[in-house]
Structure 1
Amino acid sequence: MTAFLTVCVIGLLIGSALLFFQLRRQGELLNNALHRLETLGSDDDAPGTEPYMVLTVRVVDPIGVAKRESRSARIVADHLPNMVRRRVYQQVMREVGAELAERGVEAEMKVEYR
């Protein structure tokens, strides 16, 4: 019985030591991450770190726009609404891109699903 209790106590001590070292390592990693986070905004001279603005366009009623602009969309919109929404955004992106290109504005455009 005493041998069993001794083995259990030794096992608990080894487990506690392993947990202690793991917690200590996690604390160091967390402190390093916090330090990097604090110094992230302080390096203003680094190239490529300048913030940029993003313009987001959301078509409020893409199905309504499709039905108004396309005869075939009036038929398909009720059966395939996701496809119609995607096509509306693609067309809006093409038209805005063409207008910007016509004015000589270099722009990067993409559709994001949220």
Structure 2
Amino acid sequence: MVTGVSNVTVFLALCVIGLLIAAIVLYRQLKRQGEMLESALSRIESLNGGRRSEEPQMVLTVRVLDPIAVAKRESRSARIVADHLPNMVCRRVYQQVMREVGAELAERGVEAEMKVEYR
């Protein structure tokens, strides 16, 4: 019975040693990755002229929820074409919205960059 206990003890000791080796290897990898990250951040900082990072830009997104209904309401020709060419009508609605919002902003003296993004 004593040999059975000693085999279990040896097995547990080997498991602990194996886990210890794995922990040391993981610690070294983590330390190396931290050093690489610090190096990359310092390179980015030097490219930014000493600044860590700038504040994120704010972006306003406008999504027309039902462009076909808007087109049909606003345009007589869209009532005819909308069912056959919905993608073209949607594109035209967004172009018109962009023109109108741009005109309103320009009238108020607000400089803005506007573009349509497909997602």
TM-score range, shorter chain: 0.5 to 0.7
Match of 1:101 among 102, 106, 113: 106
Q: Please tell me whether residue 86 in structure 1 is matched to residue 76 in structure 2.
A: no
Task: Report what 1:20 is aligned to.
Answer: none
Percent of counterpart pairs with the same letter? 76
Q: How many residues align?
A: 84
User: Which has the greater radius of gyration?
Assistant: 2
Letter in 2 for 1:91: Q
CA positional deviation for 1:51: 1.5
Q: TM-score, normalised by structure 1?
A: 0.62
Q: Cα RMSD over matched residues?
A: 3.1
Match of 2:68 among 50, 63, 73: 63
Q: Please tell me whether residue 111 in structure 1 is matched to residue 116 in structure 2.
A: yes
Any idea what SS the aligned residue of 1:94 has? helix
CA positional deviation for 1:39: 8.7
Equivalent-residue separation in structure 2 for 1:40 and 1:90 (angstroms): 38
Q: How does 1:25-36 map to 2 (within 5 A)?
A: 31=33, 32=36, 34-35=37-38, 36=40
Task: Report what 1:5 is aligned to.
Answer: none
Letter in 1 for 2:106: A
Letter in 1 for 2:83: D
Letter in 2 for 1:103: R
Letter in 1 for 2:86: P
Distance 1:49 1:103, change over 3 A: same
Equivalent-residue separation in structure 2 for 1:93 and 1:48 (angstroms): 31
Unaligned runs of 5+ in 2: 1-28
Q: TM-score, normalised by structure 2?
A: 0.60
